[in-house]
Amino acid sequence: MKIKKLKPLLVKIFKKNGLSTDHALISANALINAELVGAYGHGLSRLKMYCDRLNKKVINPKPKIKIKKISQSISHIDANDCIGFVAGDIAIKTAIKNAKKTGIGMVAVKNSGHYGLSGYYAEQAVKKNLIAMVYTNAPPAVAPYGALKSLFGTNPICFGCPTGSKIPFILDTSISMINRGKIRVAARNNQKIPKGVALDKFGKPTTDAKKALAGVQLPISGFRGSGLAWMVDILSGVLTGGNHSGKVKDPFDDFSGPQNIGHLFITFKTNLFVKNFNSRVKNNIKTIKRLPKIKGIKEIMYPGQNKYKRLKMNTKKEIDISGVVKKDLEILKN
């Protein structure tokens, strides 16, 4: 489906479920971006979930969002249980504005929901020639190292910076072997998942996506990945006033109340310590790209390069929509 046809359809669906035109457009743009960069687990496959939560009143379609100004650099946002895309949009814009004024911006968010891709927000700051770090927690999926029960989310870690070229450096990675969205897409399409990424509820390795969702996802690098997940839980949950310690509700299965996810956005100018950041980072990237390559590798890529290529390529063609998502769109638009 062409973007110019898909976007108004998504706006229509979100408005039908109670969002204002502005909030519907923000949400539609975020979902389309996820599709364009190839992050299908955060794209249209989640549309029905957002609509279900709006219908069950666990996402507030008409939020009264409060921004508390703590200092010229620091703000605290109570998102009033709005859809996460809107909370993220307001937060990154506030963090950018604060950083432009003082050199650094820090914005904490509580009472939010799933906001899609962290990199989507980091990119907005990088386009303003800022460095960005973005954190959010998520529903239980990963067991802390040494525990038998899942508690941490896949808690992504995101860092973005300008590179002196049109392609930004964007590292956006979950602390699990693969993100939960990919497993959900596989489950809906009756597809297998890779070996070594999840255990079933009995603690046995599985490639069955549905069994993985009922079981435990594995963190990257054992206790190191578990430690990073814990760090994100503290930064985005404990620090912000959001839910933490396994209390974030699963958006697909738990409609007992709002998620109260916490986010933390940190942005700062590139010239705080040196005036020639762009030339220094260009040299950094050039040095690493010139290293000898192992067999089969044509180019040493920095985080964000592949995503940028996918975005450029996919923007020129229609968005491919799976049969499952087509059914969702047919039901939701009527």
- Closest Cα to residue 64, out of 76, 47, 81, 52? 81
Residue range 20-49, pLDDT digits in tens? 999 999 999 999 999 999 999 999 999 999
Average pLDDT of the chain to the nearest whole number? 95
CB 158 within 8 A of CB 135: yes
CA gap 187, 183 in Å, rounded = 6
CA distances from 283 to 79, 126, 165, 196 (A): 41, 18, 12, 37
pLDDT score, position 203: 86
Through-space distance between the first and last CA atoms of the chain, rounded to whole angstroms: 18
Place of tokens 């921004």: 67
Q: Is 8 left (phi over 0), alpha (psi -120 to 50) or beta?
A: alpha
Residue 148 has pLDDT above 80, yes or no: no
Query: To the nearest 10°, the Cα dihedral for 216, 234, 172, 217?
Result: 0
Residue 65 has pLDDT above 80, yes or no: yes
Residue 155 has pLDDT above 80, yes or no: yes
Determine the average pLDDT of the residues in 71-94.
98
Encoding tokens for residue 312? 């450029």
